[in-house]
Protein backbone atom coordinates (compact mmCIF):
# COMPACT_ATOMS: atom_id res chain seq x y z
CA UNK A 1 0.00 0.00 0.00
CA UNK A 2 1.08 3.60 -0.55
CA UNK A 3 -0.15 6.54 1.51
CA UNK A 4 0.15 10.34 1.46
CA UNK A 5 2.85 11.62 3.79
CA UNK A 6 0.29 13.23 6.10
CA UNK A 7 -1.80 10.08 6.50
CA UNK A 8 -1.22 7.16 8.85
CA UNK A 9 -1.70 3.70 7.35
CA UNK A 10 -4.00 1.24 9.11
CA UNK A 11 -2.62 -0.90 11.91
CA UNK A 12 -2.63 -4.38 10.42
CA UNK A 13 -2.09 -7.82 11.98
CA UNK A 14 1.51 -8.74 12.64
CA UNK A 15 3.05 -10.92 9.98
CA UNK A 16 3.05 -14.62 10.82
CA UNK A 17 6.81 -14.74 10.15
CA UNK A 18 7.28 -12.48 13.18
CA UNK A 19 4.58 -13.70 15.56
CA UNK A 20 3.42 -17.30 15.77
CA UNK A 21 -0.17 -17.72 14.66
CA UNK A 22 -0.97 -19.75 17.76
CA UNK A 23 0.52 -17.15 20.12
CA UNK A 24 -0.76 -13.81 21.32
CA UNK A 25 -4.19 -12.40 22.11
CA UNK A 26 -7.06 -14.13 20.27
CA UNK A 27 -8.47 -11.18 18.33
CA UNK A 28 -10.25 -11.74 15.04
CA UNK A 29 -7.64 -12.31 12.34
CA UNK A 30 -4.97 -11.31 14.89
CA UNK A 31 -6.11 -7.71 14.42
CA UNK A 32 -5.31 -4.86 16.81
CA UNK A 33 -7.81 -4.18 19.56
CA UNK A 34 -10.06 -1.17 19.12
CA UNK A 35 -8.32 0.75 21.90
CA UNK A 36 -5.01 0.37 20.05
CA UNK A 37 -6.14 2.40 17.02
CA UNK A 38 -7.43 5.93 16.62
CA UNK A 39 -10.65 4.78 15.00
CA UNK A 40 -11.97 1.80 13.07
CA UNK A 41 -13.69 1.71 9.70
CA UNK A 42 -14.80 -1.85 10.45
CA UNK A 43 -15.18 -3.11 14.02
CA UNK A 44 -15.42 -6.82 14.76
CA UNK A 45 -17.43 -7.27 17.95
CA UNK A 46 -18.58 -10.33 19.84
CA UNK A 47 -21.91 -10.81 21.60
CA UNK A 48 -21.62 -13.87 23.89
CA UNK A 49 -25.37 -14.26 24.45
CA UNK A 50 -27.48 -17.38 23.88
CA UNK A 51 -30.41 -17.09 26.27
CA UNK A 52 -32.83 -16.85 23.35
CA UNK A 53 -32.28 -20.37 22.01
CA UNK A 54 -35.07 -22.94 21.81
CA UNK A 55 -32.95 -26.11 21.60
CA UNK A 56 -29.21 -26.58 22.19
CA UNK A 57 -27.38 -23.75 24.03
CA UNK A 58 -23.70 -22.88 23.68
CA UNK A 59 -23.52 -20.07 21.12
CA UNK A 60 -22.32 -17.73 23.87
CA UNK A 61 -18.92 -19.32 23.23
CA UNK A 62 -19.15 -18.83 19.45
CA UNK A 63 -17.40 -15.48 19.17
CA UNK A 64 -14.21 -16.62 20.82
CA UNK A 65 -14.23 -19.90 18.87
CA UNK A 66 -14.44 -17.88 15.64
CA UNK A 67 -11.58 -15.67 16.81
CA UNK A 68 -9.41 -18.70 17.51
CA UNK A 69 -10.25 -20.20 14.12
CA UNK A 70 -9.45 -16.89 12.41
CA UNK A 71 -5.77 -17.08 13.34
CA UNK A 72 -5.13 -18.73 9.98
CA UNK A 73 -6.67 -15.91 7.93
CA UNK A 74 -4.14 -14.16 5.71
CA UNK A 75 -3.87 -10.51 4.60
CA UNK A 76 -4.79 -10.95 0.93
CA UNK A 77 -8.21 -12.16 -0.21
CA UNK A 78 -7.70 -13.40 -3.80
CA UNK A 79 -11.41 -14.08 -4.37
CA UNK A 80 -12.17 -10.38 -4.01
CA UNK A 81 -8.72 -9.01 -4.89
CA UNK A 82 -8.59 -7.04 -1.67
CA UNK A 83 -6.28 -6.62 1.31
CA UNK A 84 -9.06 -6.25 3.90
CA UNK A 85 -6.84 -5.41 6.85
CA UNK A 86 -4.87 -2.80 4.85
CA UNK A 87 -7.51 -0.99 2.78
CA UNK A 88 -9.29 0.27 5.89
CA UNK A 89 -8.71 0.18 9.61
CA UNK A 90 -10.24 -3.03 10.92
CA UNK A 91 -10.08 -3.69 14.65
CA UNK A 92 -11.45 -6.11 17.22
CA UNK A 93 -13.81 -4.28 19.58
CA UNK A 94 -14.03 -7.08 22.14
CA UNK A 95 -17.37 -8.27 23.44
CA UNK A 96 -20.69 -6.69 24.36
CA UNK A 97 -21.61 -8.05 27.78
CA UNK A 98 -25.37 -8.68 27.92
CA UNK A 99 -27.44 -9.98 30.85
CA UNK A 100 -27.90 -13.76 30.31
CA UNK A 101 -30.87 -13.88 32.70
CA UNK A 102 -33.00 -11.08 31.21
CA UNK A 103 -33.56 -11.12 27.45
CA UNK A 104 -35.30 -7.74 27.31
CA UNK A 105 -32.45 -6.07 29.18
CA UNK A 106 -29.89 -7.87 27.00
CA UNK A 107 -31.56 -6.61 23.83
CA UNK A 108 -31.41 -3.04 25.13
CA UNK A 109 -27.75 -3.42 26.15
CA UNK A 110 -26.73 -4.76 22.74
CA UNK A 111 -28.57 -1.96 20.95
CA UNK A 112 -26.93 0.73 23.09
CA UNK A 113 -23.46 -0.74 22.62
CA UNK A 114 -23.97 -0.99 18.85
CA UNK A 115 -25.15 2.64 18.83
CA UNK A 116 -21.86 3.64 20.40
CA UNK A 117 -19.76 1.71 17.91
CA UNK A 118 -21.73 3.04 14.94
CA UNK A 119 -21.61 6.64 16.17
CA UNK A 120 -18.45 7.17 14.13
CA UNK A 121 -17.94 6.19 10.49
CA UNK A 122 -17.80 2.51 11.39
CA UNK A 123 -19.44 -0.66 10.13
CA UNK A 124 -19.94 -3.70 12.35
CA UNK A 125 -19.05 -7.34 11.84
CA UNK A 126 -20.71 -9.06 14.78
CA UNK A 127 -19.85 -12.54 16.04
CA UNK A 128 -22.69 -14.20 17.95
CA UNK A 129 -24.26 -15.41 20.07
CA UNK A 130 -27.69 -16.61 19.07
CA UNK A 131 -29.93 -15.00 16.46
CA UNK A 132 -31.80 -12.93 19.04
CA UNK A 133 -28.98 -10.40 18.76
CA UNK A 134 -29.89 -9.53 15.16
CA UNK A 135 -32.86 -7.42 16.28
CA UNK A 136 -30.97 -4.89 18.44
CA UNK A 137 -28.20 -4.74 15.83
CA UNK A 138 -30.73 -3.97 13.09
CA UNK A 139 -32.34 -1.31 15.28
CA UNK A 140 -28.99 0.39 15.66
CA UNK A 141 -28.08 0.14 11.97
CA UNK A 142 -31.50 1.52 10.96
CA UNK A 143 -30.96 4.59 13.13
CA UNK A 144 -27.95 5.40 10.97
CA UNK A 145 -29.12 4.31 7.51
CA UNK A 146 -32.89 4.11 7.71
CA UNK A 147 -34.72 0.86 6.87
CA UNK A 148 -32.21 -1.57 5.39
CA UNK A 149 -32.33 -4.45 2.94
CA UNK A 150 -31.84 -7.77 4.69
CA UNK A 151 -30.16 -10.88 3.34
CA UNK A 152 -30.75 -13.68 5.81
CA UNK A 153 -28.81 -16.96 5.44
CA UNK A 154 -30.46 -19.59 7.62
CA UNK A 155 -32.00 -23.04 7.69
CA UNK A 156 -35.00 -21.44 9.40
CA UNK A 157 -37.28 -18.47 8.72
CA UNK A 158 -36.87 -16.77 12.13
CA UNK A 159 -40.12 -14.87 11.52
CA UNK A 160 -42.28 -16.70 14.06
CA UNK A 161 -44.33 -14.60 16.45
CA UNK A 162 -43.40 -15.96 19.88
CA UNK A 163 -41.93 -18.95 21.66
CA UNK A 164 -43.70 -19.79 24.92
CA UNK A 165 -45.12 -16.26 24.85
CA UNK A 166 -41.67 -14.64 24.54
CA UNK A 167 -41.37 -11.97 21.84
CA UNK A 168 -37.56 -11.85 21.81
CA UNK A 169 -35.98 -15.19 20.89
CA UNK A 170 -33.68 -16.55 18.21
CA UNK A 171 -36.72 -17.54 16.14
CA UNK A 172 -38.48 -14.16 16.13
CA UNK A 173 -36.03 -11.32 15.35
CA UNK A 174 -37.09 -10.60 11.79
CA UNK A 175 -40.82 -10.49 12.50
CA UNK A 176 -40.09 -7.91 15.21
CA UNK A 177 -37.83 -6.00 12.81
CA UNK A 178 -40.56 -5.81 10.16
CA UNK A 179 -43.13 -4.76 12.77
CA UNK A 180 -40.79 -1.99 13.96
CA UNK A 181 -40.29 -0.63 10.44
CA UNK A 182 -36.51 -1.00 10.45
CA UNK A 183 -36.35 -3.24 7.36
CA UNK A 184 -36.99 -2.28 3.75
CA UNK A 185 -39.75 -4.78 3.00
CA UNK A 186 -39.15 -4.52 -0.76
CA UNK A 187 -35.70 -6.10 -0.30
CA UNK A 188 -35.91 -9.00 2.13
CA UNK A 189 -34.55 -12.45 1.32
CA UNK A 190 -34.01 -15.76 3.09
CA UNK A 191 -31.36 -18.03 1.59
CA UNK A 192 -30.74 -21.67 2.46
CA UNK A 193 -34.01 -22.43 4.26
CA UNK A 194 -35.10 -26.05 4.48
CA UNK A 195 -36.64 -28.67 6.73
CA UNK A 196 -40.03 -29.18 8.39
CA UNK A 197 -42.19 -26.28 9.56
CA UNK A 198 -45.02 -26.02 12.09
CA UNK A 199 -47.45 -25.60 9.21
CA UNK A 200 -48.04 -24.06 5.79
CA UNK A 201 -49.14 -20.91 7.58
CA UNK A 202 -45.49 -20.26 8.46
CA UNK A 203 -44.70 -19.69 4.78
CA UNK A 204 -47.83 -17.61 4.21
CA UNK A 205 -47.05 -15.37 7.18
CA UNK A 206 -43.44 -15.02 6.06
CA UNK A 207 -44.54 -13.94 2.58
CA UNK A 208 -46.88 -11.33 4.06
CA UNK A 209 -43.92 -9.83 5.91
CA UNK A 210 -42.23 -9.29 2.52
CA UNK A 211 -39.64 -12.05 2.40
CA UNK A 212 -38.56 -13.89 -0.70
CA UNK A 213 -37.14 -17.38 -0.25
CA UNK A 214 -34.24 -19.17 -1.91
CA UNK A 215 -34.10 -22.63 -0.39
CA UNK A 216 -30.96 -24.73 -0.12
CA UNK A 217 -32.46 -26.96 -2.82
CA UNK A 218 -32.88 -23.88 -5.06
CA UNK A 219 -29.17 -23.12 -4.66
CA UNK A 220 -28.33 -26.70 -5.63
CA UNK A 221 -30.66 -26.82 -8.65
CA UNK A 222 -30.26 -23.29 -10.01
CA UNK A 223 -26.61 -22.71 -9.18
CA UNK A 224 -24.79 -19.98 -7.33
CA UNK A 225 -24.51 -17.51 -10.23
CA UNK A 226 -28.26 -17.41 -10.86
CA UNK A 227 -28.98 -16.98 -7.16
CA UNK A 228 -26.48 -14.12 -6.94
CA UNK A 229 -28.13 -12.34 -9.87
CA UNK A 230 -31.55 -12.67 -8.25
CA UNK A 231 -30.30 -11.33 -4.93
CA UNK A 232 -28.49 -8.39 -6.54
CA UNK A 233 -31.66 -7.37 -8.34
CA UNK A 234 -33.68 -7.55 -5.13
CA UNK A 235 -31.13 -5.61 -3.09
CA UNK A 236 -30.33 -2.93 -5.66
CA UNK A 237 -28.39 0.02 -4.24
CA UNK A 238 -30.08 -0.08 -0.84
CA UNK A 239 -28.01 -0.22 2.35
CA UNK A 240 -27.67 -3.94 3.10
CA UNK A 241 -27.42 -5.93 6.30
CA UNK A 242 -26.37 -9.58 6.01
CA UNK A 243 -27.22 -11.98 8.83
CA UNK A 244 -25.71 -15.47 8.69
CA UNK A 245 -26.95 -18.24 10.93
CA UNK A 246 -24.24 -20.86 10.55
CA UNK A 247 -26.90 -23.58 10.47
CA UNK A 248 -27.54 -22.50 6.87
CA UNK A 249 -24.69 -24.90 6.18
CA UNK A 250 -25.31 -28.62 6.14
CA UNK A 251 -24.32 -30.30 9.42
CA UNK A 252 -21.46 -31.93 7.48
CA UNK A 253 -19.98 -28.45 7.13
CA UNK A 254 -21.20 -26.97 10.44
CA UNK A 255 -22.03 -29.53 13.13
CA UNK A 256 -21.45 -27.04 15.93
CA UNK A 257 -24.78 -25.26 16.03
CA UNK A 258 -27.92 -25.32 18.11
CA UNK A 259 -30.62 -26.38 15.63
CA UNK A 260 -29.01 -28.39 12.81
CA UNK A 261 -31.05 -29.40 9.76
CA UNK A 262 -30.10 -31.91 7.06
CA UNK A 263 -29.81 -30.88 3.42
CA UNK A 264 -28.01 -27.59 3.80
CA UNK A 265 -25.66 -25.55 1.66
CA UNK A 266 -21.96 -26.24 1.40
CA UNK A 267 -19.45 -23.76 2.80
CA UNK A 268 -18.24 -23.22 -0.77
CA UNK A 269 -21.73 -22.21 -1.94
CA UNK A 270 -22.19 -19.80 0.96
CA UNK A 271 -18.82 -18.15 0.46
CA UNK A 272 -19.35 -17.80 -3.29
CA UNK A 273 -22.74 -16.14 -2.85
CA UNK A 274 -21.30 -13.62 -0.38
CA UNK A 275 -18.38 -12.89 -2.71
CA UNK A 276 -20.86 -12.34 -5.53
CA UNK A 277 -22.45 -9.53 -3.54
CA UNK A 278 -19.21 -7.56 -3.14
CA UNK A 279 -20.61 -4.57 -5.06
CA UNK A 280 -23.67 -4.32 -2.82
CA UNK A 281 -23.64 -1.61 -0.16
CA UNK A 282 -22.96 -3.76 2.90
CA UNK A 283 -23.34 -1.55 5.98
CA UNK A 284 -23.03 -4.21 8.71
CA UNK A 285 -23.31 -7.97 9.19
CA UNK A 286 -23.39 -10.78 11.70
CA UNK A 287 -22.49 -14.47 11.97
CA UNK A 288 -24.41 -16.28 14.70
CA UNK A 289 -25.32 -19.64 16.27
CA UNK A 290 -21.80 -21.10 16.37
CA UNK A 291 -21.86 -23.51 19.32
CA UNK A 292 -18.37 -25.02 19.57
CA UNK A 293 -19.23 -27.65 22.18
CA UNK A 294 -20.93 -29.77 19.50
CA UNK A 295 -17.95 -29.71 17.13
CA UNK A 296 -14.80 -31.43 18.32
CA UNK A 297 -12.79 -30.43 15.22
CA UNK A 298 -13.74 -26.70 15.06
CA UNK A 299 -15.13 -27.17 11.54
CA UNK A 300 -17.99 -24.79 12.28
CA UNK A 301 -15.81 -22.02 13.68
CA UNK A 302 -13.44 -22.27 10.72
CA UNK A 303 -16.36 -21.88 8.31
CA UNK A 304 -17.72 -18.94 10.31
CA UNK A 305 -14.33 -17.23 10.38
CA UNK A 306 -14.13 -17.36 6.58
CA UNK A 307 -17.70 -16.12 6.20
CA UNK A 308 -16.86 -13.16 8.46
CA UNK A 309 -13.61 -12.57 6.54
CA UNK A 310 -15.49 -12.27 3.24
CA UNK A 311 -17.93 -9.75 4.69
CA UNK A 312 -15.14 -7.77 6.36
CA UNK A 313 -13.40 -7.74 2.96
CA UNK A 314 -16.47 -6.20 1.32
CA UNK A 315 -16.88 -3.53 3.98
CA UNK A 316 -13.16 -2.75 4.11
CA UNK A 317 -12.98 -2.23 0.35
CA UNK A 318 -16.03 0.03 0.41
CA UNK A 319 -14.72 2.05 3.37
CA UNK A 320 -11.21 2.54 1.98
CA UNK A 321 -10.27 6.24 1.66
CA UNK A 322 -9.86 7.35 -1.93
CA UNK A 323 -6.30 8.63 -1.28
CA UNK A 324 -5.02 5.13 -0.41
CA UNK A 325 -3.81 3.13 -3.40
CA UNK A 326 -3.72 -0.63 -3.84
CA UNK A 327 -0.44 -2.53 -3.51
Segment 115-139 mean pLDDT: 97
* Distance (Å, whole) CA 90 – CA 148: 23
Quote the pLDDT of residue 321.
Answer: 78
Segment 208-235 mean pLDDT: 98
Segment 220-245 mean pLDDT: 98
* Distance (Å, whole) CA 231 – CA 228: 5
Instruction: Tell whether the model's pLDDT for residue 4 goes beyond 80.
Output: no
Instruction: Tell whether the model's pLDDT for residue 39 goes beyond 60.
Output: yes
Quote the pLDDT of residue 15.
Answer: 75
* Distance (Å, whole) CA 257 – CA 133: 16
Quote the pLDDT of residue 6.
Answer: 56
Instruction: Tell whether the model's pLDDT for residue 200 goes beyond 80.
Output: yes
Closest among 153, 134, 125, 135 to 247, alpha carbons compared: 153
pLDDT band at 221 (very low <50, low <70, confident <90, very high): very high
Query: Which homologous superfamily does the CATH classification assign to the domain defined by 40-319?
Result: Ureohydrolase domain (3.40.800.10)
Residue 259 sits at φ, ψ, to 5 deg, of: -135, 70
The domain locations on the chain are 40-319
User: Could you read off the pLDDT of 77-101 as tens digits, one per residue?
Assistant: 999 999 999 989 999 999 999 999 9
Quote the pLDDT of residue 117.
Answer: 97
Q: What is the dihedral of CA 8, 14, 15, 20, to 10 degrees?
A: 170
Segment 302-312 mean pLDDT: 98
Quote the pLDDT of residue 23.
Answer: 76
Quote the pLDDT of residue 323.
Answer: 61
* Distance (Å, whole) CA 151 – CA 189: 5
* 3-class secondary-structure state, position 252: coil
* Distance (Å, whole) CA 153 – CA 192: 6
Instruction: Tell whether the model's pLDDT for residue 222 goes beyond 80.
Output: yes
Segment 33-50 mean pLDDT: 96
Instruction: Tell whether the model's pLDDT for residue 326 goes beyond 90.
Output: no
Least confident of 22-36, 197-211, 247-261: 22-36
- Stated pTM of the model: 0.96
In the chain, the percentage of residues whose pLDDT exceeds 70 is 95
| Cβ neighbours around 78 below 10 Å, total | 7
Quote the pLDDT of residue 14.
Answer: 77
Closest among 32, 28, 38 to 12, alpha carbons compared: 32
Instruction: Tell whether the model's pLDDT for residue 168 goes beyond 80.
Output: yes
Segment 276-284 mean pLDDT: 98
Quote the pLDDT of residue 170.
Answer: 98
| Cβ neighbours around 283 below 10 Å, total | 21
Amino acid sequence: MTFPNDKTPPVAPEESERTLRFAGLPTFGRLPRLEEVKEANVAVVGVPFDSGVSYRPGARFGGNAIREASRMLRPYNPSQDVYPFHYSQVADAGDISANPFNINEAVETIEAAADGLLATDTRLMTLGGDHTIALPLLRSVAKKYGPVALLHFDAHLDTWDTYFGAEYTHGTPFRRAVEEGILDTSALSHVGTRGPLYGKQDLEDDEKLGFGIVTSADVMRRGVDEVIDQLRQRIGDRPLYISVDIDVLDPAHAPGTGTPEAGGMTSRELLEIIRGLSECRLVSADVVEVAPAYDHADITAVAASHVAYEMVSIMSKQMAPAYWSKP
